Each structure stands twice: as C-alpha cells, then as structure tokens.
Amino acid sequence: MEEENKKGHFIEAIIKEDLQNNKNNGQVLTRFPPEPNGYLHIGHAKSICLNFNMAKQFNGICNLRFDDSNPAKEKQIYIDSIKDTVNWLGFDFKTPFYASDYFDRLHEFAVQLIRKGKAYVCSLSPEQMREYRGTLTEKGKNSPYRDRPIQENLDLFDQMKNGKFQEGEVTLRAKIDMASPNINLRDPIIYRVKKATHPRTGDKWCIYPMYDFTHCLSDSLEGITHSLCSLEFEDHRPLYDWILDTLETPCHPQQIEFARMNINYTVLSKRKLQLLVEQHHVSGWDDPRLPTLEGMRRRGYTPEAIRNFCNIIGVSKKDSRIDMGLLESCLRDDLNERAPRVMGVLKPLKVTIENYPDGKTEEMVAMNHPQKEEMGNRAIGFSKQIYVEQDDFMEDPPKKFFRLGPGREVRLRYAYLVTCKQVIKNEQGEVIELICTHDPQTRGGNAPDGRKVKGTIHWVNANDCLDAEVRLYDRLFTDENPEQGNQDFTENLNPDSLEILRNCKLEKSLGATAPGTVYQFERLGYFCQDLKASQKDMPVFNRTVTLRDAWAKMSPKA
Ligand code: ATP
Ligand code: MG
C-alpha cells in the first residue's frame, strides 16, 4: 500500500505529465462540487481529500463550489453545514463559489448555443420525451420540434425565461444525435422550467440549467484544469466535452473519473441516508451511527483519522468495498496517540473497603497517557467506597479470570491491591455490593513483598464522581452489503446498533471536558461528550470506538 502511495495514483500521474508538458500554463486548479441537497458523508471526504490534496501537492488551488442548480431540493442549512464540515476536515477554501452565481452567464451560453443552431426548444411532454429517447439497444427518434428556426427558438426560450410556460411544457435541448449509442448525447435537456424559489437567487429565475450543462461551464468559467469526479459521470464526459467544444468558452478542463468509496456495513448515498432519517431509524443527519461527516464528528472521529483513511485507501478506477474495520483502525491509531486516559465505570458495582478509614480521601496520581509523560498526571480521589465494573467480578470465576472473585486479590489501577472478602446480594440473588480489604502497604499498586497480582481493574471513587449516560454504538447494519438484492435495505438494520447505559460513573475530571476531546476510558474504549445530547445535570458520552475490533474476532475467517 505504501509503495503505491509513493508512486502516486493515476490522477497524480496525469497531473504530473500535464505539468511536464506545461499544459494549462503549469497551473493546477481543482474543485469540490457538492450539491447542497443533504449533508456530506465519508464518501465525499474521499473527493474532498483528493481535490484539495492534488491542488496542494502541485501548488494549485481547490475551489469549493456549490452545484446549486436544482432549487427544489437545496437548502441554506446544507450549504452552511458543508462549509463547516470542509473546514473541520482541515481544508481551507477562501470564498466558496456557487453555480448559481453563473446563472446569467449560463443563460448567455444557452442563447449562444441556439444561435449556433445547436439547441432548440422542445414542446414534447415528459412522457413523449421518454418515448422518443429510445433505449440502450434502440435508437431514439428526432423530436418534431428539432428543426424549429433559430429565431423561433430564441423567442420561445425568452418566453420560457419570462414565465410564459408551465413546468414540463417545454424544455431547451442540445441538438446532438438521437441515434447516438450514448443516451446522454440524445439531445439532452439543458434548461427546464422550474417555478421554485432558489436559496440564493430567490425568484429571479423560473428556468434552471441542468447539471450537465452547468457543471462543465462552471468548471470552465473558474479555469479548472482537472475536473475530478466519480465513475458514474464517465458516460457524461462526451457531453461535457461537446458543450465546451461547441461553445466559445474560456478553457476546456479535463474530466477524470475515479471510483466512489463504498464501505461495508453502511450505506453511502444521500438518498438512502435521508430515508433512514425520515423513517426515524436514526435520530437525525448527525446521528453518531451514520457515515455522515456530521455524525462521525459527533461520535468523536478526528479529521486526521478520516484524512489518513482516505489516503490509505487511495484512488483508482476500480469499484471496491472497503472494510469498516479499516476506518475504525485509522481512528484507533490516531486516538491512541492523542486521547487522554481516564477511568469510568459503565455498569457499576459498589465496593466497600472495610479496613479503609471512614471519611478519609487520598489523592492518587494517575498518568494522562502511560506512554507519554509529557501529557502529565492528574490526581484522582480514593476512599472507602468505590465502583468497579460488574464484569470485573465473577462469583465462581475460572482460573484464568484475573479479576475479582471471592478471596481473590486484584490491583486497582493507580491505587491499592484489594481482596474480595464478602459478596452481598439482594433478595433476587443479584450481587449488589462487594466487601473488600486493601493492603495499605501497596499504595500506587505495587506489593513491597513482590507478590504477583496479575489483574488490574479500573474504578471510580463513589463519593466524588460524575453520573453520566453512555451510548454504545455498533454497526448500523448487520449485513456487509445492506444494499444487495432488491429487498428493502432497512431490513438489514442492526437492532442493537445503539445501547444506552444510564447509570454510569465517571471520573470527576470529565465534568469539564473541552468540546471535541476524545478520551480513552481505560480498558473500555474511546469516548467523547455528546454536547448536543448532554443535559446540565446528566452529561452524555458517546463511545467513539472500541479498543479492539470485535467484528474481526467474530468473523469466521479470523
Ligand atoms: P450521493 O450519491 O451520496 O447522493 P452525490 O454524488 O449525489 O452523492 P454530490 O453532492 O453531487 O453528491 O457530490 C459531490 C462530489 O462528491 C461529487 O464530485 C461526487 O462525485 C463526490 N462523491 C459523492 N459520493 C462519493 C463517494 N462515495 N466516493 C467518492 N466521491 C464521492
Ligand atoms: Mg449528485
């Protein structure tokens, strides 16, 4: 993988060659062109990283350009979120560009096309249009309106612009070739009537340019040199080139396609993500289980981990499905370096240290990162009553269970060696408390006599801790490829993708967490505060990722 990265991917190679040939006067200008009709997902991150990194690598510029030519579905909240998310990912765009800023110029280009006899106003209804278009195996038929005189087309197009027609009544079509094997070239629509208010141009327009017309011309107007897009646009490239070759445009950018990112156990399509939100399978666009960048950010993903992931998977022309485990391992690698360590108990079991003085509290010294002294220490209180994890006790433990059991001794991290003396149960027979003793000679966790105590468990001081809710997330789908087949993909949702624990006890220091800081709860995983869900008296923490890949262990291959 690294070898491949050193050589660079095929797009890098194309750009290098262009630079050697002094194509585009040695300039590199790319763009990331989201349509503001939803929130960005991890797939978009691939395109963002690619476009911004190519510009950076070759001393060029990458524009953020909103492809906002379909007012029906576009909203300002999406624009704001996309800007914020691109910045959060670590990329700097100066001022965003908008395709809607070119509406006047695009209109002029359309008129130019009509004057050249290369576009006509078509009065076929949408159904007729479909009929005339033909199929993959059958040629299309010419529209009866195809040979309208230029002046008539100019007049009709003007009337379209002035609101004289209803939606669907007329369209402006490029006059290319109804017999082309490429359906995109069968006189594609380039302007349609749409009586919708645009988030930026308001009610100025009632005709809007189609994506294929807008995109290539916006690229050209901005002086884009390399227009990088995903593979589904490959069949649109002849149209991209036809428009730019036919019109007098400032430049002719080169469209280059690459494979989209797919990840297993999730879906990466705005439409499907929207469905999950609308049908309340998740709490919203920023649900921490979603692969949206807003959701991932809320969950505790770092921009570094996402950028690194995009870097590792590389760029190619071949479609593939990436293992979610790889994304999570990039996240672990990053968090392992930077996350401060703390202690928290998710399913608390009370422990009373019977030989510890009543009312006494000691300050124990805990390291914020055992491998990084420079991250410093903190004091944590220890007293007669603490909480440990229910899972760290077994009434009848097997020999290899190096945790608490009747008569067994364990190390409380950063504190003392303690021995379990008595188990207290409620009427239902459930264990509700352990009575232990501590060895006062073992402060800090070491026995002066050198006796071996294998197990070390985490704990929290009972009379000075933070009550919190913790949300554990798992894969959103149980099926590796939830979209497979024609069955409803929501049937593959994982019913256990969210587990809420309401009685968690966390180390006091977590009462004041800086926004966005992810912590390692020792032995449990990485967690961060969910600022949106937290209440004043009940903070909520998200599990960002587990310490190890539980799914790898479960798969039969491993
Ligand atoms: P979706 O299919 O999820 O709705 P889209 O392609 O319609 O996504 P756009 O806003 O048009 O969303 O995408 C902006 C840019 O991001 C496009 O250039 C598109 O090719 C790219 N992109 C979208 N999804 C992916 C993906 N999964 N992998 C790589 N690039 C992507
Ligand atoms: Mg799109």
Whether residue 33 has its Cβ less than 6 Å from ligand 1 = yes
| Right CATH for 270-340+468-554 from 1.10.3720.10, 3.30.70.270, 2.40.240.10, 3.40.190.10 | 2.40.240.10
Please name the residue ranges forming H helices in 227-268: 237-246
Catalytic sites, residue numbers: 35, 260, 270
Among all bound ligands, the one having the nearest atom to the CA of 292 is: 1
Whether residue 65 has its Cβ less than 6 Å from ligand 1 = no
Question: What atom in ligand 1 is closest to the CA of residue 36?
Answer: 10
Cα–ligand 2 centroid distance for 35 (angstroms) = 6
Q: What is the pLDDT of residue 554?
A: 58
pTM for the whole structure: 0.94
Whether residue 35 has its Cβ less than 6 Å from ligand 1 = yes
Q: Which CATH architecture has domain 2-260?
A: 3-Layer(aba) Sandwich (3.40)
Q: Which long-range contacts (CB under 8 A, 24 or more apart) does 80-88 make?
A: 81/39, 81/40, 81/294, 82/34, 82/36, 82/39, 82/40, 85/39, 85/40, 85/293, 85/294, 85/297, 86/32, 86/40, 86/48, 88/293, 88/297, 88/303
Whether residue 73 has its Cβ less than 6 Å from ligand 1 = no
pLDDT, one tens digit per residue, over 90-140 is 999 989 999 999 999 999 999 999 999 999 999 999 999 999 999 999 999
pLDDT, one tens digit per residue, over 492-503 is 999 999 999 999
How far apart are the two ends of the chain, measured CA to CA in Å?
21
Whether residue 483 has its Cβ less than 6 Å from ligand 1 = no
Q: What is the pLDDT of residue 512?
A: 83
Beta carbons within 10 angstroms of residue 112's beta carbon = 15
Q: What is the pLDDT of residue 3?
A: 42
Cα–ligand 1 centroid distance for 70 (angstroms) = 16
∠ CA 229-234-237 to the nearest 5 degrees? 90
The mean pLDDT of 534-546, rounded to a whole number, is 95
| Residue 207 C-beta-side C-alpha neighbours within 13 Å | 25
Query: Which residue of 11, 42, 44 sits with most ligand 1 atoms within 8 Å of its CB, as the best mutation to test the pocket?
Result: 44
β-strand 119-122 against 171-174: which pairing, if any?
antiparallel
Burial class (CB in 10 A: 0-12, 13-18, 19+), 451: exposed
Among all bound ligands, the one having the nearest atom to the CA of 45 is: 1
Burial class (CB in 10 A: 0-12, 13-18, 19+), 543: buried
Domain boundaries, the chain: 2-260, 270-340+468-554, 344-458
Contact in structure between 311 and 334 (CB atoms under 8 Å): no
- Please list, in sequence order, all residues whose beta carbon lies within 8 angstroms of the beta carbon of residue 488, skipping any fewer than 6 positions away: none
pLDDT, one tens digit per residue, over 201-249 is 999 999 999 999 999 999 999 999 999 999 999 999 999 999 999 999 9
Cα–ligand 1 centroid distance for 14 (angstroms) = 22
Whether residue 270 has its Cβ less than 6 Å from ligand 1 = yes
Record the tokens describing residue 328, joined without a space. 């999570």
Question: What atom in ligand 1 is closest to the CA of residue 261?
Answer: 28
Q: What is the pLDDT of residue 553?
A: 57
pLDDT, one tens digit per residue, over 452-486 is 999 999 999 999 999 999 999 999 999 999 988 76
Q: What is the pLDDT of residue 319?
A: 87
Beta carbons within 10 angstroms of residue 405's beta carbon = 20
Reference 70, options 229, 189, 222; nearest CA is 189
Do the domains 2-260 and 270-340+468-554 sit in the same CATH topology, yes or no?
Answer: no
Whether residue 44 has its Cβ less than 6 Å from ligand 1 = yes
In Å, how far from its chain's centre is CA 283? 16
The mean pLDDT of 277-304, rounded to a whole number, is 98
Classify domain 344-458 by CATH number.
Answer: 2.40.240.10
β-strand 409-412 against 456-457: which pairing, if any?
parallel
Question: What atom in ligand 1 is closest to the CA of residue 230?
Answer: 20
Question: What atom in ligand 1 is closest to the CA of residue 233?
Answer: 20
Cα–ligand 2 centroid distance for 34 (angstroms) = 7
d(CA 190, CA 210): 5
Record the tokens describing residue 524, joined without a space. 């449990």
